[in-house]
Structure 1
Amino acid sequence: MIKALSTLVLCAAAVSACTSEVSNFKSLKYGARAYPHDGVVFEVAPQLGSTRSAYWCAGSEYARRYLGAGWQTPFYIVRGLGTGEVSGRKDTVLFSLDPGGSQVQPRGIIGTTSFSVGSAMTVQGGDSHCDPFLLGQF
C-alpha cells in the first residue's frame, strides 16, 4: 500500500511540474499565447490556422506589454516554426529581444514571410501586423 501510494505521489508531482510550466503563459490579442523561456527567449503560439502576421503581432505585444520594450526595439527570431518547447503546441516561434543572449546572429529587419533565425522586426513593425484583416480575424 505504501509503495503504491508513494508511486502515486511521485506521478502527481511529475504531472504537476509539467502542468505549471504549460500554464505559465500570457494571453495576448486574438487568442495568441506567449510562454516565457529561460533568460531572454519567449515562445509565441497564435491560434491554430493563423497567418504569419499573427506571430509578429503576438511577439510584438508580448515584448511591449510584458518585457517593457519600446516601439523601436527590435525582436529577433531564435527558432522558426516548430513544436513548442514549453507549450508543446505545433507551429510556434521563439523570439528574443537580445540576439546576443540567445546566440542569434542578427540578419536585419526583413519581411514577415520569413521565420529564419536572426530575422528581426521592431515592436512597432510587429504591432502593425495586428490588423484583423491581416490576421484573418474579420
Structure 2
Amino acid sequence: MKNLSLATIAACLLGLTVSDASAFTSRDGSRVNPVSDAVFEVIPKTGGSGRNYWCAAGDYAQRALKTSWEARLYIARSRGASETTNRRSAVQFTLQPVLTGSSEQASTAGVNNLMRGDTMRVRDAFNLCHQLPVGF
C-alpha cells in the first residue's frame, strides 16, 4: 500500500513537470506557452504593456524556436483571455503570416496596438527587452 501511494505521488509530480516543461519564461518574466505547432501565447506577469508582449515573443522565437533574427513575428490573436492559463490577458503570436490573413510584407504597427496581423522582426521585438519602462 505504501509503495502504491509513493508511486501515485511520483506520477503526479512527473505530470506537473511534463506540463511545465513546455512553458518558457522570457527575460522580462512573461510566460510563453505553445497553443499549437504554429501558435504560441504570451502571458505577462501583470497586465503588461505592448513592449512586454513583443519582448517575450521575440525572446521565445529566438531562444526557444531558434528562428532567424530577420524572421517576422505576427499577432495571430489580439489581447484576450489566455487559452493556456487562467489569466485574463494574453496575446497569441505566430511566425506564419497565412494564419493571420496578413501579407509577408505587412507593416509594423505601434508597439502597443497588439492587433491581429501586426508584425515585427524577431530582432526588433527582442530589442524591446532592453528598453527601460516609461517613467524610470
Partner of residue 112, structure 1 = 111
Cα displacement (A) at 1:50: 2.5
> 2:49, 2:112 within 8 Å by CA — same for their partners in 1?
no
Secondary structure at the aligned position of 1:47 is classed as coil
- Decide whether aligned partners of structure 1 residues 127 and 135 sit closer, same or farther in structure 2, where only a CA change above 3 A counts: farther
Q: Which runs of 4+ in 1 moved over 3 A?
A: 16-24
Q: Percent identity?
A: 30
When normalised by structure 2's length, the TM-score is 0.77
Distance apart, 1:132 and its partner CA? 4.7
Gap runs ≥5 in structure 1: 1-12
Q: Could you tell me which residue of structure 2 aligns to residue 55 of structure 1?
A: 53
Give, as a single letter, the amino acid of the residue that structure 2 aligns with 1:116. M
Q: CA RMSD in A?
A: 2.6
TM-score under structure 1 normalisation? 0.76
Aligned with 1:80 (options 75, 78, 81): 78
Aligned to 2:9: none
The number of aligned residues is 123
Q: CA deviation at 1:135?
A: 7.2
C-alpha distance in 2 between matches for 1:135 and 1:69 = 29
Unpaired runs of 5+ residues, structure 2, are: 1-11
Separation in 2 of the partners of 1:22 and 1:89? 16
In structure 2, what residue type is equivalent to 1:82? Answer: G
Q: Deviation per CA, 1:23-56, whole angstroms, max 9, x where unpaired?
A: 7311111211100121210000111032220000
Structure 1 equivalent of residue 8 of structure 2: none
Q: Distance in 2 between matches of 1:132 and 1:117?
A: 24
Q: Is contact 2:79-2:89 (8 Å) kept?
A: yes
**Contact 1:25 1:35 (C-alpha < 8 Å) held by counterparts:** yes
* Matching of residues 33-44 of structure 1 within 5 Å: 33-44=31-42
Counterpart position of 2:25: 27
Q: Tell me what 2:6 maps to.
A: none
